[in-house]
Structure 1
Amino acid sequence: MDSFCFCIFNILIIIILLLSFHQSESQSTHLLDLMIRDYTFRNFKLNLNTGITQKIILPSNFSGIDIDTVKLRCGSLRRYGAKLGEFNIGSGVTVEPCPERVMLIRQNLGSNWSSIYSTGYNLTGENYQLVSPVLGLLAYNANPDGVATNPYEVNVVGTDQNPILIDFLSNKSSIDPSPKETMKKNSSVLCACFTRNGNTTFSQQVSPYVCKGIRQGHYALVMKTEAQKDDHDSEGGGVVTSSTEVNGTNGGGKLSRWKVAVGSVIGSGIGAILLGMLVVAMLVKVKKKAVREEMERRAYEEEALQVSMVGHVRAPTASGTRTLPRMADDRYKHTHLNK
């Protein structure tokens, strides 16, 4: 019974993981972040002073990705902000949780590796294309005398008044050399923020080549394709603010939603059935345990009371160890003989 319950529990865990993988479109990007994090922590110079930027060289199979990292005091990061590559973190940001040291890792995925965001976040299906490499800024906990042995991601959150600015012009390699040198604010080029849950949010540039972010993550400059621009001009609409709104006007997006809905319903039904089987198995196990304890209790009482059959009735019997009674005449005779 224990092995059966364990098997059912494992099946439930597998189904939950499959559903999570099915509904998330950014699994490959998250795995890339973890790889960069682990390689950065392994190759960070422990004797490097706080606040000094270090460049990390990745293996040859990840060529084209440019990595910079810096270790900062959490309190200093909150009070004064920081600048790392194209990212300018304003003062007054919130760091949750706030360890003693914070490790910032800046990513420039280049033209080759940026395509996994275009594919994973379905920019082509939404009639958008990348016009810059994807830039990432991630924060992790760190120890004062080195990097953390068990790193976890730290949330760096800004506000509209104290945002995180991403200046794509600060690094010429961050701009596509295609003829976009005259990109200005409110042009067809937008800022794209790729969220961890698989969605994409779009916003206008705050100035040419500069985007504004509220938290750490991945950003890029994107441009509408001709089909999207024609639809935009004919409808006279404004800026699309999220990928769900784009999907709402795209047949492929509706089909994807339908598939996700059907998959979620089927998965939820299977999960409910297996969960019910697990509950039934646990109830059966509890009942059997109660019956076994009752049988043990009865066996103990029968052994203590020496139950025997009297006709058709079970009744306790006492052992014959009591002192036998003596007649009063015997005691009288014994007393007079002694005199």
Structure 2
Amino acid sequence: MDSFSFYIIIILLLSFHQSESQSIQSTHLLDLMIRDYTIRNFKLNLNTGITQKIYLPSNFSGIDIDTVKLRCGSLRRYGAKIGEFHIGSGVTVEPCPERVMLIRQNLGSNWSSIYSTGYNLAVYNYKLVSPVLGLLAYNANPDGVATNPYEVNVMATDQNPILIDFLSSKTTDNPNPKATMKKNSSVLCACFISNANTTFSEQVSPYVCKGTRQGHYALVMKTETQKDDHDGGGGGVVTSSTDMNGGNGGGKLSRWKVAVGSVIGSGIGAILLGMLVVAMLVKVKKKAMREEMERRAYEEEALQVSMVGHVRAPTAPGTRTLPRIADDRYKNTHLNSNYP
């Protein structure tokens, strides 16, 4: 009876696991499921540096998985190649365990739509024109896989980047990305960041993208219908060396106009401020000159000082007028008195 109950529980858990897998809508949950299947099916006797194909259950049909175990020092010095990903030499691995397990994902046409809806590409008038390719790194033990796996950060530089070649995709249920794109369309590289944002960049060569760390990448292009508003929930979009107007120059032109207007406005403001400062300085200088003139005029009009004996006293120049005879009668009287 106990054995029968145990088998019933196992069957229920498997059925629940299968239904849960079919209803996966989270990109992070999908990565965890792929990691667990990879660890469970990894061949422990496989030599380091040998790529192994991982076959997922039928409910993950369309997903193509490869994995390889490398020494961390070798990965940093020489780089690696797994599937569509070419990791250049000189990458930084943090933390750097003794062994690193690389898992390459090709989500195909069935599962790539999770990123299209989860990152709201339709809201920003973008659509996928290639399968989503992923590269994730985890710690590994020298004799096998780690019992407590954690994600390892593999970071490259612009000089020695991680190249993603979408034309080398060999998944049978995914059409060649070149065949699904229009000849004159503007195709961009999209990098899906873990914080629900998306960065866009130009291709380094036809259908080859450049990345600076592990993650998920795809080719996108503008849709036919253009929307004026960018409302909607979910993650935002951050453009990198690409404008959001489909490469027609409109966004660049408006930014150029804004920059020129800002420079002109700043220049006019600086000129007006300089004129105001000059006017204030002239006014202050005139006021000082006027006060100096008033001071000198006051000093010049002051009485002169001279010595009278041993005392200094103010003196004035001799400006007293001589007396004048008032009338003739007084004059005659005065004359008669002097000459009897």
Task: Provide Cα deviations, 1:49-103, integer angstroms capped at 9, x if missing partner.
Answer: 0000000000110011000000000000000000000000000000000000000
1:171 offset after TM fit, Å? 1.7
Task: Provide Cα deviations, 1:265-295, integer angstroms capped at 9, x if missing partner.
Answer: 9999999999999999999999999999999
CA contact (8 A) 1:307 1:316 kept: yes
In the TM superposition, what are the counterparts of 1:1-339 in structure 2 within 5 Å? Answer: 28-173=26-171, 177=175, 180-181=178-179, 188-228=186-226, 241=239
CA contact (8 A) 2:18 2:59 kept: no
Q: d(CA) in 1 for partners of 2:195 and 2:158?
A: 22
Is the alpha carbon distance of 1:18 and 1:117 closer, same or farther for their aligned partners in structure 2, counting shifts above 3 Å? farther
Q: d(CA) in 1 for partners of 2:77 and 2:91?
A: 8
Q: CA RMSD in A?
A: 23.0
Q: d(CA) in 2 for partners of 1:229 and 1:21?
A: 41
Q: d(CA) in 1 for partners of 2:5 and 2:271?
A: 14
Task: Provide Cα deviations, 1:139-173, integer angstroms capped at 9, x if missing partner.
Answer: 00000000000000000000000100000011244
Q: d(CA) in 2 for partners of 1:251 and 1:187?
A: 14
1:200 offset after TM fit, Å? 0.5
1:118 offset after TM fit, Å? 0.4
Task: Give 1 or 2 for the bigger CA radius of gyration.
Answer: 2
1:121 offset after TM fit, Å? 0.3
Q: d(CA) in 2 for partners of 1:26 and 1:305?
A: 112
Is the alpha carbon distance of 1:245 and 1:59 closer, same or farther for their aligned partners in structure 2, counting shifts above 3 Å? same
Task: State TM-score, norm by structure 2.
Answer: 0.59
CA contact (8 A) 1:191 1:204 kept: yes
Q: d(CA) in 2 for partners of 1:314 and 1:30?
A: 104
Task: Provide Cα deviations, 1:101-144, integer angstroms capped at 9, x if missing partner.
Answer: 00000000000100000000001111111000000000000000
Q: d(CA) in 2 for partners of 1:290 and 1:140?
A: 79
CA contact (8 A) 2:123 2:232 kept: no
CA contact (8 A) 1:165 1:213 kept: yes
CA contact (8 A) 2:120 2:235 kept: no
Is the alpha carbon distance of 1:261 and 1:308 closer, same or farther for their aligned partners in structure 2, counting shifts above 3 Å? farther
CA contact (8 A) 2:84 2:165 kept: yes
Q: d(CA) in 1 for partners of 2:20 and 2:298?
A: 62
Q: d(CA) in 2 for partners of 1:33 and 1:233?
A: 29
CA contact (8 A) 2:243 2:251 kept: no
Comparing both chains, which one has the higher relative contact order based on Cα–Cα distances under 8 Å and sequence gaps of 6 or more? 1
CA contact (8 A) 2:124 2:230 kept: no
- Answer with 75-84 or 256-265: which moved more: 256-265
Task: Provide Cα deviations, 1:8-55, integer angstroms capped at 9, x if missing partner.
Answer: xxxxx9999999999999990000000000110011000000000000
1:228 offset after TM fit, Å? 3.8
CA contact (8 A) 2:167 2:177 kept: no
Is the alpha carbon distance of 1:104 and 1:59 closer, same or farther for their aligned partners in structure 2, counting shifts above 3 Å? same
Is the alpha carbon distance of 1:234 and 1:260 closer, same or farther for their aligned partners in structure 2, counting shifts above 3 Å? closer
Q: d(CA) in 2 for partners of 1:20 and 1:285?
A: 91
Is the alpha carbon distance of 1:229 and 1:324 closer, same or farther for their aligned partners in structure 2, counting shifts above 3 Å? closer
Q: d(CA) in 2 for partners of 1:209 and 1:139?
A: 24
CA contact (8 A) 1:240 1:246 kept: no
Task: Provide Cα deviations, 1:213-235, integer angstroms capped at 9, x if missing partner.
Answer: 00000000011002349999999
Task: Provide Cα deviations, 1:243-265, integer angstroms capped at 9, x if missing partner.
Answer: 99969999999999999999999
- Answer with 316-325 or 148-157: which moved more: 316-325
- Answer with 22-31 or 213-222: which moved more: 22-31
CA contact (8 A) 2:187 2:219 kept: yes
- Answer with 248-257 or 204-213: which moved more: 248-257
Choose between structure 1 and 2: higher helix proportion.
Answer: 1
Task: Provide Cα deviations, 1:172-228, integer angstroms capped at 9, x if missing partner.
Answer: 449964884496999501100000000011111100010000000000001100234
Q: d(CA) in 1 for partners of 2:20 and 2:316?
A: 77
- Answer with 157-166 or 267-276: which moved more: 267-276
Alignment partner of 2:232: what SS?
A: helix
CA contact (8 A) 1:86 1:171 kept: yes
